[in-house]
């Protein structure tokens, strides 16, 4: 089971009509997702030739925006209203805490009742993968200097802090993390009955060692089997 199977399962269980993906890159995931209407957002589509062909064949039910997610929400978010709102969304963009958190907040006004946002890279397996950088290029440059012990060319960034912030500061959202595929975060409207006791300054001071000490609680970590029943928790 991975992000593709979790997303497709949710779409089928919800009979979702709309899907939005932030951080499409090569289109590996986007073009495999089956949904009536799809929206792709990425500042640089890195489609191989076969996905460039797929883009043309998907033109009838897919929309492509080659820009940052911030620019998309500032300039083209009305398209989400035009397609009837968002049922399922996947955030897999810059791999930074602030961007992942902002993407979720920007998505919420367009999320339909019973809708859900999934986030990738929420459960980094080691400190090297969780190294905070402004983007993948900076991460690789720093790694090239030998300054990231244990570097294996895999980067999750500090997206995990976006999960912690949502769990700490939003009592109207249910947020947790499925323990599979680098950590699949989930966000949907509901009662956050046990908000984490952390302020923004607490979050800023947190390091990977804090995550290691209290991973299950900070991330709301649930086993992979939870993915199959996630649909039962949505307010549909």
The predicted pLDDT at position 125 comes to 97
User: Could you read off the pLDDT of 213-227 as tens digits, one per residue?
Assistant: 999 999 999 999 999
Does residue 115 sit within a domain? yes
Q: What percent of the chain has pLDDT over 90?
A: 91
pLDDT range class, residue 60, cuts 50, 70, 90: confident
Does residue 185 sit within a domain? yes
Does residue 235 sit within a domain? no
Cα 24 from chain centre? 11
Check whether 44 has a pLDDT greater than 80. Answer: yes
The predicted pLDDT at position 124 comes to 98
Q: Choose among 75, 69, 67, 68: nearest CA to 89.
A: 69
Check whether 148 has a pLDDT greater than 70. Answer: yes
Does residue 29 sit within a domain? yes
Strands 173-178 and 86-91: unpaired
Q: What percent of the chain has pLDDT over 70?
A: 99
The predicted pLDDT at position 57 comes to 85
Structure token pair of residue 157:
């960034």
pLDDT range class, residue 138, cuts 50, 70, 90: very high
Three-state secondary-structure class, residue 113: strand
Residue 228: which residues within 8 A CB-CB, separation 6 or more? 9
Structure token pair of residue 73:
């929400």
| Residue 10 and residue 231 in contact, taking contact as beta carbons nearer than 8 Å | yes
The predicted pLDDT at position 235 comes to 63
Does residue 210 sit within a domain? yes
| pTM, 2 dp | 0.97
User: Could you read off the pLDDT of 190-203 as tens digits, one per residue?
Assistant: 999 999 999 999 99
Burial of 42 (0-12, 13-18, 19+ CB in 10 A): buried
Three-state secondary-structure class, residue 40: strand
Q: What angle do CA 36, 37, 41 make, to 5 degrees?
A: 145
Give the mean model confidence (pLDDT) for residues 132-158: 95
Q: What are phi and psi of 104, to 5 degrees?
A: -65, -45
Strands 184-189 and 173-178: antiparallel
* More confident: 57 or 198: 198
Question: What mean pLDDT value characterizes the chain?
Answer: 96
Q: What is the CATH number of the domain that holds 146?
A: 3.40.50.150
For residues 92 and 75, what is the distance between their CA atoms, to the nearest angstrom?
20
Three-state secondary-structure class, residue 5: helix
Q: How much helix, strand and coil, in percent to the nearest 5, is found in the chain? A: 40, 20, 45
Does residue 163 sit within a domain? yes
The predicted pLDDT at position 144 comes to 95
Does residue 231 sit within a domain? no
Give the mean model confidence (pLDDT) for residues 90-115: 97
Structural domain tally of the chain?
1
Read off the DSSP letter of residue 119. E
Domain that holds residue 149: 3-219
Does residue 224 sit within a domain? no
């Amino acid at each position: 089971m991975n992000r593709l199977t979790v997303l497709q399962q949710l779409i089928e269980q919800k009979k979702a009509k709309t899907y939005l993906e932030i951080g499409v890159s090569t289109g590996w995931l986007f073009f495999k997702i089956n949904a009536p209407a799809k929206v792709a957002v990425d500042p640089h589509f890195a489609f191989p030739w076969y996905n460039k062909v797929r883009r043309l064949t998907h033109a009838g039910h897919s929309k492509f925006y080659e820009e940052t997610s911030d620019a998309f929400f500032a300039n083209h978010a009305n398209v989400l209203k035009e397609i009837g709102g968002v049922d399922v969304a996947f955030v897999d963009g810059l791999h930074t805490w602030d961007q992942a958190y902002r993407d979720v907040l920007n998505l919420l006004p367009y999320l339909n009742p019973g809708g859900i946002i999934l986030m990738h890279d929420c459960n980094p397996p080691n400190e090297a993968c969780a190294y905070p950088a402004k983007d993948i290029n900076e991460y690789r440059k720093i790694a090239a200097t030998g300054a990231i012990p244990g570097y294996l060319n895999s980067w999750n960034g500090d997206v995990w802090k976006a999960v912690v912030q949502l769990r700490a500061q939003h009592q109207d959202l249910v947020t947790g993390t499925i323990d599979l595929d680098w950590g699949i975060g989930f966000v949907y409207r509901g009662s956050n009955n046990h908000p984490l006791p952390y302020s923004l300054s607490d979050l800023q001071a947190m390091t990977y060692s804090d995550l290691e000490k209290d991973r299950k609680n900070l991330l709301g970590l649930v086993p992979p089997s939870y993915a199959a029943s996630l649909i039962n928790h949505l307010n549909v």
